[in-house]
Amino acid sequence: MVNPKLASEKKSMKMLNLSFRLPYFTQWGQNLLVCGSEPLLGSWNVKQGLALSPFFEGEQLIWSGKVSVPSGFKCEYSYYLVDDNRNVMRWEAGKKRKILLPDIIQDGEVVELRDLWQTAAEALFIRSAFKNVIFHNWNLHSEALPEAFQSNLDQEDSFIVQFKISCPRLENGNAVYVIGSSNSLGQWKLQDGVKLGYFAGESLWQADCLLKKSELPIKYPFCESNSWHGNLFPTHLYQLENFDMPWRGVGVAVPMFSVRSEDDIGVGEFLDLKLLVDLAVESGFHLVQLLPLNDTSVHGMWWDSYPYSSLSVFALHPLYLRVQALSENIPQAIKQEIMDAKGRLDGMAVDYEATLATKTSIAKKIFFLEKDVILTSSSFQEFFSENEEWLKPYAAFCFLRDFFETSDHSQWGRFSQFSKEKLEKLVSKDKVHYDNICFHYYIQFHLHQQLSEAAAYARKKRVVLKGDLPIGVDRNSVDTWVNPSLFRMNTATGAPPDYFDKNGQNWGFPTYNWEEMSKDNYAWWRARLTQMAKYFTAYRIDHILGFFRIWELPEHAITGLVGKFRPSIPLSQEELEKEGIWDFNRLSQPYIRKQMLQDKFGASWAVIASNFFNENENCYEFKDDCNTEKKIVSKLKVCTEKSLWLESEEKIRHDLFDLLQNIVLIRDPEDPRKFYPRFNLEDTLSFKDLDEHSKNVMKRLYYDYYFYRQESMWSQNALKTLPVLLNSSDMLACGEDLGLIPSCVHPVMQELGLIGLRIQRMPSELDLEFGIPSQYSYMTVCAPSCHDCSTMRAWWEEDAERRCRFYKTMMGSNDEPPSRCVPDIANFILRQHVEAPSMWAIFPLQDLLALKEEYTTRPAVEETINDPTNPKHYWRYRVHVTLETLLGDKEFKLKIKNLVKGSGRSYPSIEVVQEGIDIKESVNSKKMHVANGQGQTPRVQSNAASLMV
């Protein structure tokens, strides 16, 4: 039975026809749809979104669709590119579009939304690094929009157009206008144009305009009150492609531990960042970049100086604590202890163990004096409440690590397996060790306060603080203890052979179980990014290739050579058999012959053979107690016949590794019928002893595996995982894309708006020895060096022949180059980068110091931060000049300013337009550009939505 009241309400409800229209060129099998927050648009379920239909308007492909909606309808929505099964292939970047239909629209009217696809590059400037820091405008306030033209709606020849645009880069005091060819748009005169109102916090300007149908078609640009941008197309005012000189910035990079100040104790501290920010500001820089700041206290020794092996991806490192700031009531005896420690630890390099031990000892003394006050304070209670999900497991882990004297949680007895019940008992207030637990809470609370203070200072000074997101975690970490299912604990992470190391790299981290992580939409990753965003407005994704595929090694490996990509499509036994390959044991087991042993070990070969090999008809195989790299190292330590060897133990180990790696195929440990080509298999003696047919087959399959067959899989893998990171925070993301780069990487990074890295001596172009900064793309960070290679000065000195080639090809001189990187050379190289098209030029502080002779007295090799070829490298570099000295050095700061001056960096290039001047000819003469190359523009549209009634 029909309810008369409901039927009456339904009859009286005004219904409107909402029309979507988007120019977008697609390929066969691709479709567009609209998905939004309301059920009519799928409630964010793409499968239930509104499908659009294509048609041509001239040479332009337009996608459109209609849906009936009630008056006053409001929602958020986005466009999606899908396949025939509605699987998402691509989606718009940036914030969701918003629409609110006013009640004045008549029943049955058509409201047409004319949009343009929002690219990731366009969305960069609404990230927090720009919106909240660099372009943060303290004087902009929300403006009331003019009343709708309700009295004129009855005119049959009139309609309303709503103009909307995102302008995150608007200068203080400026306004946004629309001008155009019609009377309603001022006939190209700025003072007669339509002024847009501002929505605070959204970087959006919007205005309604009444137009007559007789005025169609119209042409229009968006303008600032003191400038125009000559773009007749309604894309972002600051769409990157539309400018001859887009915004470009400069930054400085230095590890936190490398900073030196007059107040620190042996190592850079979070509060020193305020001085570093001041130096950046006075040098005309917009960014300070750091290495990871997470706690790495795994081994309890200097190995923990490695900042990429996190004990916890949430906890900050106690190393960076300023103990003087823990309390305002520090007793004189402790103050004296602090002064003594400052003098004792003020060395040229970081003494990691002594510094951490000293700070921990002092912090404990202060903790016991004030714990009752701090732990009951409202600020601590708020911090604890917001962070207890990771803070409790972290404190419990640190307690158990110290109690059992190891971070290897498999050795913790009944605590080896984590559970929330055990955790709550461990951290309960009635435990005798509760003070030990609280001490870790206390340290993390103060670290949070100190870093937050520095981060707020940076934002106030309009300097971007850029953090670093490590690709891995230590296998003995809080994260692997609490969430073991998220990791493949029988594997290790690394990198295949590259510029850094011909044997590859083995970082030792367990690889990720992406399948398990996907079950809760990568909650662990989202939590990491949320935590980082408390302090940073930009971040670097370490080894971004790991989100496409990771170089996976067996846990028992030491080097990084004999690995495989995960995920990847293996060579199946059936595939190999079809190619005439059948002796799989011969190809997948170390190929060792008597002559090889004699060639490698000389007169000692018989002794080596008897200790490490079993013989079988002139063929040799490793004994079970030494058939992995870790077993070889262990056996060498206890071998009783060392005195009979003529070679050093290091040489014996190297040669044994070489024999162990002498294979052509790697058999999958989880499926013996699947195989992977060994990296650089043509270099092995095993390959060289194959027949010609087998050689040709293996070479072809090798190149197919490493360069062709995986590309689609890797691209899809990255498009599943990386957007989760990017959407987890508002930070600006950059990706470290060095090494063996699959062809799918750069298109995906461009698609997602990820900024890549360019190091001149490691060009991505195979035919170049040196990168050409003037040819870098805009979506890059360029630098002459980074923390993973030698500094600019050290590089100049380490290879005379390469130095000469650089001097000739890049500097245009046939003369003999100076043997040292003198300030003039440094200035030339740095200027190449500062004048590059890259969005960011970020210089290691060491490279900037090379501008002044006085700061180059230290041997260049001592300025290297990391040696990637050494897995046990001691990360201890300290700048030999204090920040206070650099801040007071007017000559040094002037050299940096002169470097940047005239380069077009730091400040946008804006043309001034005086009010009252007819700019029609100027606008019409500007080069036309359409977002996404979509032919001609529709006659009326706005960036977010055009409302036509």
Note the Cα 63 to chain centre separation in Å.
34
How confident is the model at residue 107, as a pLDDT?
Answer: 79
Please tell me the chain's helix, strand, coil percentages from 3-state DSSP, rounded to the nearest 5: 40, 20, 40
How confident is the model at residue 3, as a pLDDT?
Answer: 55
Mean pLDDT of 781-798: 96
Mean pLDDT of 153-174: 69
Please give the residue range of the domain that contains residue 109: 15-118
Q: Domain boundary at 62, 89, 118, which?
A: 118
| Alpha-helical runs (H) found in 290-433 | 332-345, 352-375, 378-404, 420-426
Q: Which residue has the higher pLDDT, 931 or 118?
A: 118
Q: Is residue 335 part of a domain?
A: yes
The segment with the largest mean pLDDT, out of 126-130, 137-141, 517-521, 531-535, is 531-535
Mean pLDDT score across all residues of the chain = 87
Question: Rounded distance, CA 843 to CA 641, Å?
Answer: 52
Domain CATH number, residue 19: 2.60.40.10
Mean pLDDT of 215-229: 67
How confident is the model at residue 570, as a pLDDT?
Answer: 97
| Predicted confidence (pLDDT) per residue in 235-250, tens digit | 333 222 333 357 899 9
Q: Is residue 103 part of a domain?
A: yes
| Predicted confidence (pLDDT) per residue in 603-613, tens digit | 899 999 999 99
How confident is the model at residue 175, as a pLDDT?
Answer: 77
Confidence of residue 917 (pLDDT cuts 50, 70, 90): very low
Indicate the SS3 state at residue 488.
strand
Q: Is residue 594 part of a domain?
A: no
Mean pLDDT of 169-197: 79
Q: Which two tokens stand for residue 684?
A: 């092995």
Q: Is residue 126 part of a domain?
A: no
- Report the relative pairing of strands 780-783 and 840-844 from DSSP bridges: parallel
How confident is the model at residue 936, as a pLDDT?
Answer: 27
State the number of CA atoms in the 13 A half-sphere of 630 facing the CB. 9
How confident is the model at residue 946, as a pLDDT?
Answer: 31
Mean pLDDT of 824-836: 96
**Alpha carbon separation from 587 to 83, 128, 437, 886 (Å, rounded):** 42, 53, 54, 60
Domain CATH number, residue 323: 3.20.20.80
Count of positions (residues) in the chain: 949
Q: Which residue is it, tokens 């891995």?
A: 472
Mean pLDDT of 562-579: 96
Mean pLDDT of 140-167: 60
Confidence of residue 931 (pLDDT cuts 50, 70, 90): very low
| Predicted confidence (pLDDT) per residue in 165-174, tens digit | 777 666 666 7
Percentage of the chain beyond pLDDT 90 is 69
Q: Which residue has the higher pLDDT, 47 or 913?
A: 47
255 and 398 inside one domain: yes
Confidence of residue 921 (pLDDT cuts 50, 70, 90): very low
Q: Which two tokens stand for residue 124?
A: 């960069």
How confident is the model at residue 137, as a pLDDT?
Answer: 59
| Predicted confidence (pLDDT) per residue in 9-65, tens digit | 444 578 888 999 999 998 888 999 999 999 999 999 999 999 999 999 888 999 999
| Predicted confidence (pLDDT) per residue in 690-743, tens digit | 999 999 999 999 999 999 999 999 999 999 899 889 989 999 999 999 877 899
Q: 85-93, long-range: CB within 8 Å, 24+ apart, which pairs?
A: 86/31, 86/33, 86/46, 86/47, 86/49, 88/46, 89/30, 90/751, 92/117, 92/118, 92/119, 93/118, 93/119, 93/120, 93/121, 93/122, 93/123, 93/752, 93/753
| Predicted confidence (pLDDT) per residue in 634-661, tens digit | 999 888 777 777 788 899 999 999 999 9
Q: Do the Cβ atoms of 753 and 125 come closer than 8 Å?
A: no
Q: Is residue 849 part of a domain?
A: no
Buried-state track 100-128, b at ≥16 Cβ within 10 A, e below 16: ebeeebeeebebbbbbbbbbbbbbbbbbb
The phi, psi pair for 443, rounded to 5°, reads: -65, -45
How confident is the model at residue 145, as a pLDDT?
Answer: 45
Q: Is residue 105 part of a domain?
A: yes
Q: Domain boundary at 470, 485, 503, which?
A: 470
Q: Is residue 619 part of a domain?
A: no
Q: Is residue 578 part of a domain?
A: no
The verdict on whether omega for the bond into residue 217 sits within 30 degrees of 0, i.e. cis, is yes
Burial of 269 (0-12, 13-18, 19+ CB in 10 A): buried
| Statement: residue 155 has pLDDT above 60 | no
Tally of domains in the chain? 2
| Predicted confidence (pLDDT) per residue in 545-569, tens digit | 999 999 999 999 999 999 999 999 9
| Predicted confidence (pLDDT) per residue in 74-90, tens digit | 999 999 999 999 988 88
Rounded to two decimals, what is the model's pTM? 0.86
Confidence of residue 927 (pLDDT cuts 50, 70, 90): very low
How confident is the model at residue 240, as a pLDDT?
Answer: 26
Q: Domain boundary at 420, 437, 470, which?
A: 470
The DSSP 8-state label assigned to residue 187 in this structure reads: G
